[in-house]
Amino acid sequence: SLVDDPTQVDIRQFQRGPTTIFELTVAKEDMGRVIGKNGRVATAMRTLLRVAAAHEGVKASLDIIDPE
């Protein structure tokens, strides 16, 4: 699993112009794992989201929110 505490995972969706924004919040202890070494995990998640959205003909973006 990508996070130790799945109960602390929160995803919110809203529109910003033509783009659907997904805000991901996880427990502070899981932030390092979600971002990954040199941001690789976060980049991979953002890429997958953009590709899936483009397949549907829309734009999407992932913001990872610091729980502080």
3-state secondary structure of 17: coil
Q: Is residue 10 part of a domain?
A: no
DSSP structure class, residue 25:
E
Residue the block writes with tokens 């997958």: 48
- For residue 24, give the nearest of 37, 6, 40, 38 by alpha carbon: 6
Q: Is residue 27 part of a domain?
A: yes
In angstroms, the Cα distances linking 5 to 10, 15, 33, 60, 67 are 11, 28, 12, 26, 13
Q: Is residue 6 part of a domain?
A: no
Its pTM stands at 0.89
pLDDT in tens, the chain (68 residues): 899 999 999 999 999 999 999 999 999 999 999 999 999 999 999 999 999 999 999 999 999 998 87
Q: Is residue 40 part of a domain?
A: yes
The total number of structural domains that make up the chain: 1
Range of the domain at 33: 21-65
Q: Is residue 55 part of a domain?
A: yes
